[in-house]
Structure 1
Amino acid sequence: MPFIQTSLFSETLGMPTEINVVIPHLPDGDIRNKAKLPVLYLLHGLGGDHKEWTRQSSIERYAESKGVALVMPRADRSYYTDMKQGGAYFTYLSEELPELVSYLFPLSRRREDTFVAGISMGGYGAFKLALRCPERYAAAASLSGALDIVGRVNGPNGFQPGEAERIFGDPGRLQGSGDDLLALLPKAAKSGFLPRLYQCCGTEDFLYEGNRIFLRHAEQAGLKVAYEESPGEHEWGYWDRQARRMMEWLPCR
């Protein structure tokens, strides 16, 4: 599988940024016919970067078996948000990046070929993309995601001093906003047009209760979520196991 590490200039962010891309093997006939590949955007966690999925897991091997390309962007500690003080990472991920990578690589732009997944902060980002841009993704997966963002900002959270305010602004205005996944759920349910959702979390994970809260809100909104929990902590041994299960679940053509 070709593995590409590249730097590109983002007009949205106003600066260069990095992505890693993995392209599965294409038969000669598909190359001649300029076949377009299904694509999975993989989002990193807080304190991680665009390299962690390939350094810490066997995701390349899992993707090869499904014939899916991987795009792994760098988003720093943005929570995949148009930050109040910082970059417009949500706009970059949802609008600019798909345009750039489909121009550079043989990737499909069809909704049925487009997926997003992430760990921890990236799980939050993946579900935010799915709930706010359902017309663009066929499926989204959260592995140990920080899904109850209001509870996380207002409790023990791992943010640096003043960081939550730089990302989200006034914490008092976060609940009910476009960055609050729990508030987005009933709106998504009413739309009747939602990607398939896969959610998992280890029962020893510090984000476990937040995952249960998200699941309850999803069920109350009438949304179906493929949910799994099992013994596990907030670490790559658990995520690698679940990444394989997530790839098996992914509705690829």
Structure 2
Amino acid sequence: MCSFSFFFALKNNEIARSLIMARELQLYNVNLAQNVFFSGAGKGKRRKIMPATIVQGEWYSEALGRPTQISGLLPANLSNGRLQPGRKLKTIYLLPGALSHSEAVLTEMNLASYFEGVDLADAAIFCVTPTFSYYVDYQKEYRYAHQYFTFMTRELIEQTRTLFPLSDKREDTAIYGCSVGGYGAYYCGLNRPDVYGHVGAQSGMLDMKWAIEARPFMTIKHQRQFGDNLDISGKSYDLFHVAAELDREASEGRKEIPRLFQSWGEEDYLAVPNENMHAHLKSLKNLDYTYKVIPGPHGWGIHNEGVNLFLDWFLADQKKGDEESWQR
């Protein structure tokens, strides 16, 4: 049984059809409420009040072997009927850090403020709850549940696309994460480029060899995730290896190669693994890679700035002046 709570006005046929389908399948218990509006003023400008559709849901996950929660933001056009018939939304799947909850992330990262003065007419954002998983499929006796990679690359995709008018095209699907979620986003995105066409990380734990060596107190947990000997060289967990393989495949003409985005803080305690990955990606000649270094330490402040940069990059919404200031 899956329970979702929706906040929107019933003016859109696509959502209405999704709700009818859910009720007919008897999988979802749906509760309806009103629109939520966000407004604000920035730097002397009066900003337009934009309605945002907030989605919160829970269901029993076969991949994880337990109930799991997601939260989401849907654009104003789903609640005012402006979505063109048959049109599908681009989708961003957001992976938070180690101990965050999906609902808290929407608040702490102030994602709703992105709706202020910006028309997310073509995109939806969904945030998951991670439990410090690195978003990999666990091994040993834990392999019968805790399948986070399977959840992120199959089950979550199927659930959200069943309920909402989301595009099934890889070029319309992005995955983005912060901190531990940054590793998860790159791990899922690089290993399943057929699912995700855009991959981004803010202050991500992108060098797993570095993380394993720097955190011996987490050895038991790491063994459940990466294997007893913790040698990830040349395996799917080794993002440097996977990126190099994609670069080689791109040089041979493969089309399903994700665009990559990376940002981190200048004073970030994860600056070293980010700089390691940055140097590696810059050395590869066939990948579409964009990066940004943000002043500040690891935390919600620069995470907020990072996710806004990523959304601009993914939605191609930044102005020409902003594009020229980006480092490539």
Same fold (TM over 0.5): yes
Is 1:164 aligned to 2:222, yes or no? Answer: yes
Deviates more, 1:22-31 or 1:202-211: 22-31
What is residue 5 of structure 2 aligned with on the other side? none
What is residue 118 of structure 1 aligned with on the other side? 177
Measured after TM superposition, the shift of residue 247 of structure 1 is 1.4
Measured after TM superposition, the shift of residue 55 of structure 1 is 1.6
What is residue 289 of structure 2 aligned with on the other side? 225
Q: Is the Cα contact below 8 Å between 2:98 and 2:130 reproduced in 1?
A: no
Measured after TM superposition, the shift of residue 181 of structure 1 is 0.6
What is residue 232 of structure 2 aligned with on the other side? 174
Quick one: percent identity of the two aligned structures? 30
The one-character-per-residue Cα deviations of 1:45-90 (angstroms, maximum 9, x if unpaired) are 0121222321212222325633321111122111000011351100
Match of 1:212 among 252, 259, 275: 275
Q: Is the Cα contact below 8 Å between 2:223 and 2:230 reproduced in 1?
A: no
TM-score (norm 2): 0.72
Aligned residues between the structures: 251
In structure 1, how many angstroms separate the alpha carbons of the residues matched to 2:295 and 2:316? 28
What is residue 102 of structure 2 aligned with on the other side? 50
After superposition, the Cα gap between the structure-2 partners of 1:88 and 1:110, relative to the gap in structure 1 and judged at 3 Å, is same
Measured after TM superposition, the shift of residue 148 of structure 1 is 0.2
Amino acid at match of 2:91: V
The one-character-per-residue Cα deviations of 1:82-103 (angstroms, maximum 9, x if unpaired) are 0113511001100111011100
Is 1:30 aligned to 2:83, yes or no? Answer: yes
- Alignment partner of 2:176: what SS? strand
Match of 1:66 among 106, 110, 120: 120
In structure 1, how many angstroms separate the alpha carbons of the residues matched to 2:73 and 2:261? 22
Measured after TM superposition, the shift of residue 171 of structure 1 is 4.2
Deviates more, 1:167-176 or 1:107-116: 167-176
Q: Is the Cα contact below 8 Å between 1:153 and 1:171 reproduced in 2?
A: no
Tell which has more relative contact order, 1 or 2 (C-alpha 8 A, sep 6+): 1
In structure 2, how many angstroms separate the alpha carbons of the residues matched to 1:240 and 1:171? 37
Deviates more, 1:145-154 or 1:107-116: 107-116
Measured after TM superposition, the shift of residue 182 of structure 1 is 1.1
Unaligned runs of 5+ in 2: 1-51, 251-255, 318-328
In structure 1, how many angstroms separate the alpha carbons of the residues matched to 2:302 and 2:204? 13
Amino acid at match of 1:78: S
What is residue 160 of structure 2 aligned with on the other side? 101
Measured after TM superposition, the shift of residue 220 of structure 1 is 2.6
Deviates more, 1:226-235 or 1:165-174: 165-174
Q: Is the Cα contact below 8 Å between 2:223 and 2:229 reproduced in 1?
A: yes
- Alignment partner of 1:6: what SS? strand
Is 1:134 aligned to 2:193, yes or no? Answer: yes
Measured after TM superposition, the shift of residue 173 of structure 1 is 2.2
Q: Is the Cα contact below 8 Å between 2:97 and 2:130 reproduced in 1?
A: no
Q: Which residues in structure 2 correspond to 1:73-88 (within 5 Å)?
A: 73-84=128-139, 85=142, 86-88=145-147
Match of 1:250 among 314, 317, 320: 314
TM-score (norm 1): 0.92
- Alignment partner of 1:151: what SS? helix
Structural RMSD (CA):
2.0
Deviates more, 1:43-52 or 1:92-101: 43-52
Amino acid at match of 2:151: Y
Q: Is the Cα contact below 8 Å between 2:260 and 2:289 reproduced in 1?
A: yes
Unaligned runs of 5+ in 1: none
In structure 2, how many angstroms separate the alpha carbons of the residues matched to 1:2 and 1:228? 30
After superposition, the Cα gap between the structure-2 partners of 1:163 and 1:35, relative to the gap in structure 1 and judged at 3 Å, is same
In structure 1, how many angstroms separate the alpha carbons of the residues matched to 2:73 and 2:234? 37
Measured after TM superposition, the shift of residue 34 of structure 1 is 4.6
In structure 1, how many angstroms separate the alpha carbons of the residues matched to 2:275 and 2:82? 47
In structure 1, how many angstroms separate the alpha carbons of the residues matched to 2:86 and 2:81? 10
Deviates more, 1:46-55 or 1:138-147: 46-55
